[in-house]
Amino acid sequence: MALNEYIASRKQNKDLLLMTHVVCGYPSFDANLKELEIMAEAGVDFVELQFPFSEPSADGPLFVKANQIAVESGVTVEQCFEFMAKVSQRFDFKVLMMGYYNTVFKMGHEAFVDALKAAGGCGFIVPDLPLEEAGALHDYAKSQDIAPIVLMTPTNTDARLQTIAKAADGFVYVVARRGVTGGKTEMDAEVGEFLDKCRDISPVPTGVGFGVSAKEDLDFLAKHADMGIIGTAALKAWEEGEEKALRDFFGSLGLL
Protein backbone atom coordinates (compact mmCIF):
# COMPACT_ATOMS: atom_id res chain seq x y z
CA MET A 1 0.00 0.00 0.00
CA ALA A 2 1.42 3.38 -0.93
CA LEU A 3 2.20 5.67 1.96
CA ASN A 4 -0.52 8.21 1.18
CA GLU A 5 -3.19 5.48 1.09
CA TYR A 6 -1.89 4.07 4.37
CA ILE A 7 -2.04 7.49 6.02
CA ALA A 8 -5.52 8.14 4.63
CA SER A 9 -6.81 4.79 5.87
CA ARG A 10 -5.35 5.29 9.35
CA LYS A 11 -6.77 8.79 9.53
CA GLN A 12 -10.31 7.48 9.07
CA ASN A 13 -10.35 6.29 12.66
CA LYS A 14 -8.54 9.10 14.48
CA ASP A 15 -7.74 12.78 14.39
CA LEU A 16 -4.05 12.46 14.93
CA LEU A 17 -1.65 9.77 13.80
CA LEU A 18 1.32 8.91 15.96
CA MET A 19 4.95 8.15 15.23
CA THR A 20 7.42 6.92 17.85
CA HIS A 21 11.15 6.31 17.86
CA VAL A 22 13.60 3.72 19.06
CA VAL A 23 17.39 3.66 18.78
CA CYS A 24 18.35 0.28 17.33
CA GLY A 25 20.28 -1.79 19.84
CA TYR A 26 19.86 0.65 22.71
CA PRO A 27 19.71 -0.50 25.38
CA SER A 28 19.46 -3.79 23.43
CA PHE A 29 17.51 -5.26 20.52
CA ASP A 30 15.48 -7.31 23.02
CA ALA A 31 14.54 -4.17 24.92
CA ASN A 32 13.66 -2.52 21.59
CA LEU A 33 11.18 -5.33 20.89
CA LYS A 34 9.53 -4.84 24.27
CA GLU A 35 9.24 -1.10 23.62
CA LEU A 36 7.74 -1.78 20.19
CA GLU A 37 5.16 -4.20 21.59
CA ILE A 38 3.91 -1.49 23.93
CA MET A 39 3.94 1.05 21.11
CA ALA A 40 1.95 -1.32 18.90
CA GLU A 41 -0.57 -1.81 21.67
CA ALA A 42 -0.87 1.96 21.97
CA GLY A 43 -1.78 1.97 18.29
CA VAL A 44 1.12 3.95 16.85
CA ASP A 45 1.07 4.34 13.09
CA PHE A 46 4.78 4.76 12.32
CA VAL A 47 8.02 3.96 14.09
CA GLU A 48 11.38 5.50 13.29
CA LEU A 49 14.16 2.99 13.78
CA GLN A 50 17.28 5.03 14.37
CA PHE A 51 20.49 3.53 12.99
CA PRO A 52 23.02 4.61 15.58
CA PHE A 53 25.84 6.97 14.57
CA SER A 54 28.43 8.37 16.95
CA GLU A 55 27.95 11.99 15.79
CA PRO A 56 24.16 12.41 15.86
CA SER A 57 24.12 16.15 15.16
CA ALA A 58 20.34 16.60 15.17
CA ASP A 59 19.69 14.74 18.43
CA GLY A 60 19.35 15.95 21.99
CA PRO A 61 21.54 14.71 24.86
CA LEU A 62 19.46 11.62 25.71
CA PHE A 63 19.60 10.33 22.13
CA VAL A 64 23.25 11.31 21.73
CA LYS A 65 24.07 9.07 24.67
CA ALA A 66 21.85 6.27 23.34
CA ASN A 67 23.54 6.46 19.92
CA GLN A 68 27.03 6.45 21.34
CA ILE A 69 26.37 3.53 23.65
CA ALA A 70 24.80 1.55 20.82
CA VAL A 71 27.80 2.27 18.57
CA GLU A 72 30.26 1.35 21.30
CA SER A 73 28.43 -1.91 21.95
CA GLY A 74 29.03 -2.83 18.31
CA VAL A 75 25.61 -2.41 16.68
CA THR A 76 26.08 -2.61 12.90
CA VAL A 77 24.07 -1.31 9.96
CA GLU A 78 23.46 -4.91 8.90
CA GLN A 79 21.97 -5.76 12.31
CA CYS A 80 19.72 -2.71 12.06
CA PHE A 81 18.36 -3.85 8.71
CA GLU A 82 17.83 -7.38 10.06
CA PHE A 83 15.98 -5.92 13.00
CA MET A 84 13.89 -3.76 10.69
CA ALA A 85 12.90 -6.83 8.66
CA LYS A 86 11.81 -8.62 11.82
CA VAL A 87 9.85 -5.60 13.07
CA SER A 88 8.11 -4.87 9.79
CA GLN A 89 6.90 -8.49 9.60
CA ARG A 90 5.72 -8.69 13.17
CA PHE A 91 3.86 -5.40 13.61
CA ASP A 92 1.11 -3.47 11.85
CA PHE A 93 2.73 -0.06 12.03
CA LYS A 94 4.99 1.15 9.21
CA VAL A 95 8.69 1.47 9.78
CA LEU A 96 11.13 4.17 8.65
CA MET A 97 14.87 4.42 8.90
CA MET A 98 16.18 7.44 10.77
CA GLY A 99 19.89 8.11 10.74
CA TYR A 100 22.78 10.19 9.47
CA TYR A 101 24.07 10.72 5.99
CA ASN A 102 27.44 9.06 6.36
CA THR A 103 25.70 5.72 6.95
CA VAL A 104 23.85 6.13 3.63
CA PHE A 105 26.84 7.62 1.79
CA LYS A 106 29.11 4.79 2.91
CA MET A 107 26.67 2.10 1.73
CA GLY A 108 25.94 3.87 -1.52
CA HIS A 109 22.56 5.42 -2.31
CA GLU A 110 21.10 2.52 -4.29
CA ALA A 111 22.37 -0.20 -1.98
CA PHE A 112 20.87 1.69 0.95
CA VAL A 113 17.45 2.09 -0.66
CA ASP A 114 17.43 -1.53 -1.83
CA ALA A 115 18.28 -2.80 1.65
CA LEU A 116 15.64 -0.57 3.20
CA LYS A 117 13.02 -1.85 0.78
CA ALA A 118 14.03 -5.47 1.32
CA ALA A 119 13.68 -4.95 5.09
CA GLY A 120 10.13 -3.70 4.67
CA GLY A 121 10.87 -0.03 5.44
CA CYS A 122 8.63 2.60 3.86
CA GLY A 123 10.90 5.64 4.01
CA PHE A 124 13.86 7.36 5.64
CA ILE A 125 14.67 10.49 7.62
CA VAL A 126 18.25 11.75 7.28
CA PRO A 127 18.31 15.16 8.95
CA ASP A 128 21.86 16.18 8.07
CA LEU A 129 21.40 15.71 4.32
CA PRO A 130 20.55 19.07 2.76
CA LEU A 131 17.98 19.10 -0.03
CA GLU A 132 20.60 20.40 -2.48
CA GLU A 133 22.61 17.21 -1.97
CA ALA A 134 19.66 14.84 -1.92
CA GLY A 135 18.57 14.79 -5.56
CA ALA A 136 20.01 11.47 -6.71
CA LEU A 137 19.13 9.63 -3.49
CA HIS A 138 15.57 10.97 -3.44
CA ASP A 139 14.99 10.20 -7.12
CA TYR A 140 16.09 6.62 -6.74
CA ALA A 141 14.09 6.17 -3.52
CA LYS A 142 10.92 7.46 -5.15
CA SER A 143 11.44 5.10 -8.09
CA GLN A 144 11.41 2.26 -5.53
CA ASP A 145 8.35 3.53 -3.63
CA ILE A 146 10.48 4.50 -0.67
CA ALA A 147 9.56 7.91 0.76
CA PRO A 148 12.36 10.35 1.51
CA ILE A 149 10.98 12.40 4.40
CA VAL A 150 11.91 16.09 4.31
CA LEU A 151 12.05 18.47 7.27
CA MET A 152 10.54 21.90 7.85
CA THR A 153 11.73 24.13 10.69
CA PRO A 154 10.76 27.56 12.04
CA THR A 155 14.11 28.96 10.91
CA ASN A 156 13.22 28.24 7.25
CA THR A 157 12.17 31.26 5.20
CA ASP A 158 8.84 31.06 3.38
CA ALA A 159 10.68 30.63 0.08
CA ARG A 160 12.63 27.78 1.57
CA LEU A 161 9.45 26.13 2.87
CA GLN A 162 8.07 26.21 -0.68
CA THR A 163 11.23 24.53 -2.00
CA ILE A 164 10.99 21.85 0.69
CA ALA A 165 7.30 21.30 -0.08
CA LYS A 166 8.15 20.58 -3.71
CA ALA A 167 10.49 17.79 -2.62
CA ALA A 168 8.07 16.32 -0.08
CA ASP A 169 6.94 12.71 -0.26
CA GLY A 170 4.98 10.54 2.20
CA PHE A 171 4.73 13.15 4.92
CA VAL A 172 6.68 16.20 6.06
CA TYR A 173 8.52 16.09 9.38
CA VAL A 174 8.04 19.46 11.04
CA VAL A 175 10.64 20.25 13.69
CA ALA A 176 8.86 22.87 15.79
CA ARG A 177 10.92 23.23 18.92
CA ARG A 178 9.51 25.48 21.57
CA GLY A 179 11.76 28.43 22.14
CA VAL A 180 13.81 28.65 25.31
CA THR A 181 12.11 31.92 26.27
CA GLY A 182 8.54 33.15 26.14
CA GLY A 183 5.39 32.11 27.95
CA LYS A 184 3.94 28.75 27.06
CA THR A 185 0.61 30.03 25.79
CA GLU A 186 2.23 32.60 23.60
CA MET A 187 4.69 30.07 22.23
CA ASP A 188 1.89 27.62 21.59
CA ALA A 189 0.09 30.25 19.57
CA GLU A 190 3.25 30.94 17.63
CA VAL A 191 3.94 27.27 17.09
CA GLY A 192 0.32 26.73 16.03
CA GLU A 193 0.64 29.45 13.44
CA PHE A 194 3.81 27.91 12.08
CA LEU A 195 2.22 24.44 11.95
CA ASP A 196 -0.77 25.79 10.08
CA LYS A 197 1.56 27.40 7.59
CA CYS A 198 3.46 24.15 7.04
CA ARG A 199 0.24 22.21 6.60
CA ASP A 200 -0.93 24.79 4.13
CA ILE A 201 2.25 24.69 2.06
CA SER A 202 2.82 20.94 2.22
CA PRO A 203 1.25 18.75 -0.47
CA VAL A 204 1.43 15.74 1.90
CA PRO A 205 0.38 15.25 5.56
CA THR A 206 2.50 16.85 8.29
CA GLY A 207 4.00 15.15 11.34
CA VAL A 208 5.29 17.26 14.19
CA GLY A 209 8.01 16.69 16.73
CA PHE A 210 8.41 19.37 19.39
CA GLY A 211 8.98 17.69 22.67
CA VAL A 212 5.56 16.00 22.77
CA SER A 213 5.23 14.61 26.28
CA ALA A 214 1.63 15.04 27.46
CA LYS A 215 -1.95 14.49 26.37
CA GLU A 216 -2.50 18.22 26.03
CA ASP A 217 0.31 18.34 23.48
CA LEU A 218 -1.52 15.75 21.36
CA ASP A 219 -4.80 17.63 21.72
CA PHE A 220 -3.04 20.78 20.56
CA LEU A 221 -1.41 19.02 17.63
CA ALA A 222 -4.66 17.44 16.48
CA LYS A 223 -5.80 20.94 15.53
CA HIS A 224 -2.68 21.85 13.57
CA ALA A 225 -1.16 18.70 12.08
CA ASP A 226 -1.83 15.15 10.89
CA MET A 227 0.62 13.31 13.09
CA GLY A 228 2.39 13.72 16.41
CA ILE A 229 5.95 12.46 16.81
CA ILE A 230 7.13 11.21 20.19
CA GLY A 231 10.86 10.84 20.74
CA THR A 232 12.59 11.81 23.95
CA ALA A 233 9.62 11.38 26.29
CA ALA A 234 9.24 7.68 25.50
CA LEU A 235 12.94 6.94 25.87
CA LYS A 236 12.99 8.88 29.13
CA ALA A 237 10.10 6.77 30.42
CA TRP A 238 11.90 3.57 29.45
CA GLU A 239 15.09 4.74 31.19
CA GLU A 240 13.13 5.51 34.33
CA GLY A 241 11.27 2.25 34.67
CA GLU A 242 11.34 0.12 31.52
CA GLU A 243 8.11 -1.59 30.50
CA LYS A 244 5.97 -0.35 33.34
CA ALA A 245 7.01 3.29 33.00
CA LEU A 246 6.62 3.19 29.21
CA ARG A 247 3.17 1.65 29.58
CA ASP A 248 2.25 4.34 32.12
CA PHE A 249 3.53 7.00 29.76
CA PHE A 250 1.29 5.85 26.89
CA GLY A 251 -1.51 5.50 29.44
CA SER A 252 -1.03 9.15 30.42
CA LEU A 253 -1.46 10.06 26.75
CA GLY A 254 -4.81 8.25 26.78
CA LEU A 255 -3.55 5.55 24.43
CA LEU A 256 -3.45 2.56 26.75
Partner 1 sequence: MQNTFDHPLPNEHGYFGEYGGSFIPPELQQIMNDIDAAYREIRQEPEFLIQLASLYQHYVGRPSPIFLAENLSKKYGAQIYLKREDLNHTGAHKINHCLGEALLAKKMGKKKIIAETGAGQHGVALATAAALLGLECDIYMGEVDIKKEHPNVVRMHILGANVIPATHGRKTLKEAVDAAFEAYLKDPHSQLYAIGSVVGPHPFPMMVRDFQSIIGNEARQQMQQQYGGLPDHVVACVGGGSNAMGIFSAFLDDKEVALHGVEPAGHTMAVAGEHAATLSKGQPGTMHGFKSYMLQDEQGEPQEVYSVASGLDYPSVGPQHAYLKDLGRVNYHAIDDKQAIDAFFELSRMEGIIPAIESSHAIAQACKIAQGGGRVLVNLSGRGDKDIDFVVENYGKDYGLGSKL
Q: How many residues does the chain have?
A: 256
Piece in contact with partner 1 (CB under 8 A), picked from 65-73, 86-94, 221-229, 246-254 = 65-73
Choose between 71 and 237: whose C-beta lies nearer to partner 1.
71
Q: Which of 31, 40, 58, 245 binds partner 1 (CB under 8 A)?
A: 58
Q: How far is the CB of 153 from partner 1 (least distance, A)?
A: 5
**Residues annotated as catalytic (active site), given as ranges:** 48, 59
Choose between 53 and 238: whose C-beta lies nearer to partner 1.
53
Centroid of chain to Cα 97: 8
Choose between 43 and 211: whose C-beta lies nearer to partner 1.
211
DSSP bridge partners of 97: 49, 124
3-state secondary structure the chain: CCHHHHHHHHHCCCCCEEEEEEECCCCCHHHHHHHHHHHHHCCCCEEEEECCCCCCCCCCHHHHHHHHHHHHCCCCHHHHHHHHHHHHHHCCCEEEEECCHHHHHHHCHHHHHHHHHHCCCCEEECCCCCHHHCHHHHHHHHHCCCEECEEECCCCCHHHHHHHHHHCCCCEEEECCCCCCCCHHHHHHHHHHHHHHHHHHCCCCEEEECCCCCHHHHHHHHHHCCEEEECHHHHHHHHHHHHHHHHHHHHHCCCC
Q: Which of 61, 89, 158, 159 binds partner 1 (CB under 8 A)?
A: 61
Count of Cβ atoms closer than 10 Å to residue 86 Cβ: 16
Q: How far is the CB of 128 from partner 1 (least distance, A)?
A: 5
Site membership for partner 1, residue 162 (CB under 8 A): no
Site membership for partner 1, residue 232 (CB under 8 A): no
Site membership for partner 1, residue 140 (CB under 8 A): no
Provide the mask over 16-55, with x wherever binding to partner 1 is found by CB under 8 A and - wherever it is not: -------------------------------------xxx
Site membership for partner 1, residue 134 (CB under 8 A): no
Provide the mask over 87-126, with x wherever binding to partner 1 is found by CB under 8 A and - wherever it is not: -------------xxxx-xxx-------------------
Choose between 160 and 223: whose C-beta lies nearer to partner 1.
160
Provide the mask over 173-202, with x wherever binding to partner 1 is found by CB under 8 A and - wherever it is not: --x-x--x----------------------
Give the residues lining the site for partner 1 (CB under 8 A). Answer: 53-55, 57-58, 61, 64, 68, 71-72, 76-77, 100-103, 105-107, 127-130, 132-133, 151-157, 175, 177, 180
